[in-house]
Amino acid sequence: MKKKQQSRQMSVRHPERNRKIFGIILIFGVGAILLAFICRFWYVAAGGSVDNQNLAAFRQKLYYREAKLQADRGNIYDRNGSVIAEDANTYTLYAVLDKTQVVDGKKQYVYDKEKTATVLAKYLPLAKEKILAYLNPKQGTNQVEFGTAGTNLSLATRNQIMKEKLPGIALTASPSRLYPNGVFASYTVGLAQANKATDSDQSLVGVMGLEKTFDKLLAGHNGYRTAQGDNYGYRIPQAKVKTKAAKNGSNVYTTLDSSLQSYLETLMTQVQNTYQQQSLTAVVMNAKTGEILAASQRPTFDPSTLDGLGAGASWQNSLVEDAYEPGSVMKVFNLAGAIQSGTFNPNQYYDSSKIKVGDTTIRDWNHVGFGEIPLSQALPRSSNVGFVHIVQAMGEANQAKTLKDFGFGQKTGIALPNESAGSYNLNSAVTRAVMAYGQSINVTQMQILQAATALANGGTMVRPRIVSKIKSASGKTTTYSRQVVGKPISASTASQVLDEMRDTINQSYGTGTMYKIAGADIAAKTGTANVPNPKGGYLDGATNQLHSLLAIAPANDPQFIVYITFKQNKVMKKPATTAINDLFHPLMTRLLALNAGSSVSASAQTLAIPAVTNDTLTAAQTALTAKKLVVSTVGTGNRIVQQMPAADSAALIGSRVILLTNGAMTMPDVSGWSKSDVLKLAQLTGKKFKLQGEGYATKQSLASGSLLGSETVTVAFQKTQ
């Protein structure tokens, strides 16, 4: 006990020693911690990373600011340089209903709903009552939109609404594609939409037609601008700026003729409304070059509004994606193959009532035939039995060679996505027989058109073409010219087939007499095919058929190939031939008239029409009058969107050039105009004109300066004394 007390007393007596020991321990501890910090700082400085995170990259990310430079998507043009598709912003309208939105004592929400609805009804396709319903939602909400009627609004509409200065009404912009012609070869030109996979990218991507085929070329490449900035987004003074310029997309020039395309769309709508086909297609091709001048299908859609692409609507381009049984149109190619192989005897007579192949009896389309007739009448009469005889005489090898040489079962290579190759099988004698008249073989519209070019070009077959050139932002031009893809028949064979096709139109027993046009040399072939039943076999009834017409004109020097198909007319008010003729007759009449009107004597004093599309009206008039050309203007605008004749066309000095401006389409004074000039006006505007008399225009049913609408304009002509 005494020792313990003594020890405590000794400890108490030496406080300095205790403090010294504690101080040494503290010094060593702080030194160790400081050393650890020094080692850590050295490690961080030497390695440049903390917790596997690169400090330089983190600092750059913290102060690095990058702004994307958006590339402009290239335009799509028609053959004359008129815009078919171009970049634009569209606007979505919305209304703020939150009553707390007050700034500097001013209400920033819709408080006068009656006035707001009244004003908006002037600019939206909505009644005032419907707008009020949007502005008075059943459930409380701070903001409302106006459905599809309030989306995809143009810049002009946006500006008009903003001028009204309606409290609480605002619009948001989004990148979009502008299709100024509306329903216009919609499946062929295609569609570009916002890239949903990268919403922040604000880019457009082609999802259909040429927009899809040439998406990468049209899109271009975005650029960027980088610099260091503070937390408020301001660039740090003297910070280095790095810029990579955007590379705008290339422009695609099509072979389409805007005026002809617009006219075709008008005819298609009229026929579709009358007969209500399940599907309807029509194509106009330049017979010599393979250029597609106009192409349309029904049902269709408006790419600007997407009207027609709702739930259940087809996104399929019937012209290249739809493989179908073409019917009797195939007979012209089987006849060509038979003539080429030397197996066709036009003077051989046969019993047209029926023929038995294996266990199958094949009868003619009228079920009774035409009695004993020569094979030379098989095509004009469209005799199924006759063509079974013809392909049997050809033999399987020649039949196979004919189909292959004409390109059936192979893609044409036209610049449109998802093209089908079609199909056929020659293994069965019955199948080979029915293929003679276009059943049990699947083809595409482009294959029929491509094969028809061999008939029109003395045996030389050219590829269908929808694009004429592509021009990059830097000015580099890639041209797509006429491309020969084969010579399946000789010129002599082609000539004989055209003569047989003439008989289809001109002979009293021909199936195409309905399609005769006074003074026109037309070679044609009609077609009727049964429509396959998805459950097997074929659908029954006259309304469940595919009717078609293949026409080449003028037959003595082919310039145009027209191919029309009607599938399953729901309303049979008239025979199928009449329904087709409602489309064919005005279309071919216009083609032939324009072709005749554009001819210029080689000995006359001619010049090349200057290109004035996209010029101001004043500049265009100056350029044309300087060339001693007569200028007439259609519309109230100040910029030229289309011209007729087209740029670089040959024309006589003193001839008329018609200019279409970007304003409202108005009727010019046509007094003294020739018929060919009025036809040019009709083609340029796509409107309906009725021409009466001969000579020069003296009267017009629509006054000069009046808006050109859907009504037919009658122009009377009178010969000068």
Give yes or no for a contact between 446 and 464, defined as CB atoms under 8 angstroms apart: yes
Whether pLDDT at 198 is above 60 = no
Residues 494-531: pLDDT tens digits? 999 999 999 999 999 999 999 998 888 999 999 999 88
Quote the CA–CA distance of 115 and 562 in Å, as a whole number: 54
pLDDT for the residue 598: 45
Looking from the CA of 118 toward its CB, the CA atoms found within 13 Å total: 4
pLDDT for the residue 82: 86
Residue % of the chain over a pLDDT of 90: 50
Instruction: Clarify whether residues 365 and 284 are in a common domain.
Output: yes
Give me 371's structure tokens.
Answer: 């009695």
pLDDT band at 14 (very low <50, low <70, confident <90, very high): low
Whether pLDDT at 398 is above 80 = yes
pLDDT for the residue 693: 79
Average pLDDT, the chain: 86
pLDDT for the residue 666: 87
pLDDT for the residue 408: 98
Domain boundary among 539, 564, 597: 597
- The parent domain of residue 714 ranges over 606-718
Instruction: Clarify whether residues 330 and 222 are in a common domain.
Output: no
Instruction: Clarify whether residues 433 and 506 are in a common domain.
Output: yes
Whether pLDDT at 721 is above 50 = no
In a domain, 61, yes or no: no
pLDDT band at 301 (very low <50, low <70, confident <90, very high): very high
pLDDT band at 602 (very low <50, low <70, confident <90, very high): very low
Give me 205's structure tokens.
Answer: 């991507």
Whether pLDDT at 125 is above 90 = no
CATH number at residue 656: 3.30.10.20
pLDDT band at 199 (very low <50, low <70, confident <90, very high): very low
Instruction: Clarify whether residues 199 and 308 are in a common domain.
Output: no
Of 63-72, 104-113, 171-180, 189-198, the range with the lowest mean pLDDT is 63-72
Instruction: Clarify whether residues 238 and 275 are in a common domain.
Output: no
If one counts the domains in the chain, the total is: 4
pLDDT band at 601 (very low <50, low <70, confident <90, very high): very low
Quote the CA–CA distance of 384 and 394 in Å, as a whole number: 15
Of 544-558, 564-578, 591-605, the range with the lowest mean pLDDT is 591-605
Residues 241-251: pLDDT tens digits? 677 778 899 99
Mean pLDDT in residue range 313-333: 94
In terms of DSSP bridges, do strands 143-145 and 83-96 run parallel, antiparallel, or are they unpaired?
antiparallel
Instruction: Clarify whether residues 343 and 472 are in a common domain.
Output: yes
pLDDT for the residue 593: 77
Quote the CA–CA distance of 202 and 206 in Å, as a whole number: 14
Mean pLDDT in residue range 646-673: 82
In a domain, 59, yes or no: no
Residues 405-440: pLDDT tens digits? 999 999 999 999 999 999 999 999 999 999 999 999
CATH number at residue 479: 3.40.710.10
Instruction: Clarify whether residues 134 and 194 are in a common domain.
Output: yes
Whether pLDDT at 542 is above 90 = no
Of 9-13, 208-212, 290-294, 629-633, the range with the lowest mean pLDDT is 9-13
Region of residue 389 (phi > 0: left; psi between -120 and 50: alpha; otherwise: beta): alpha
Whether pLDDT at 321 is above 90 = yes
Mean pLDDT in residue range 322-338: 97
In a domain, 53, yes or no: no
Catalytic one of 328, 341, 383, 468: 328
Instruction: Clarify whether residues 453 and 588 are in a common domain.
Output: yes
Which range in 126-135, 196-205, 639-648 is most confidently predicted, on average pLDDT?
126-135
Q: Which amino acid is at 39?
A: C
In a domain, 55, yes or no: no
Give me 529's structure tokens.
Answer: 């095919």
Instruction: Clarify whether residues 498 and 616 are in a common domain.
Output: no
In a domain, 56, yes or no: no
Mean pLDDT in residue range 328-345: 97
Residues 344-393: pLDDT tens digits? 999 999 999 999 999 999 999 888 999 999 999 999 999 999 999 999 99
In a domain, 228, yes or no: yes
pLDDT for the residue 604: 44
CA-to-CA separations, 583 to 277, 564, 587, in angstroms, rounded: 13, 9, 6
CA-to-CA separations, 246 to 70, 323, 476, in angstroms, rounded: 6, 41, 17
pLDDT band at 709 (very low <50, low <70, confident <90, very high): confident
Whether pLDDT at 265 is above 80 = yes
In a domain, 63, yes or no: no
Instruction: Clarify whether residues 274 and 403 are in a common domain.
Output: yes
Instruction: Clarify whether residues 527 and 612 are in a common domain.
Output: no
In a domain, 54, yes or no: no
Whether pLDDT at 33 is above 50 = yes
pLDDT for the residue 32: 77
Q: How is the chain split among helix, strand and coil, in percent rounded to 5? A: 35, 25, 40
Nearest to 547 by CA among 275, 362, 262, 270: 275
Known catalytic membership, residue 328:
yes
pLDDT for the residue 57: 57
Which range in 46-50, 58-62, 285-289 is most confidently predicted, on average pLDDT?
285-289
Instruction: Clarify whether residues 615 and 544 are in a common domain.
Output: no
Whether pLDDT at 228 is above 70 = no
Whether pLDDT at 237 is above 90 = no
pTM of the model: 0.74
pLDDT for the residue 167: 93
Of 74-78, 82-86, 575-579, 685-689, the range with the lowest mean pLDDT is 685-689
Taking residue 178's Cβ as centre, other Cβ atoms within 10 Å add up to 18
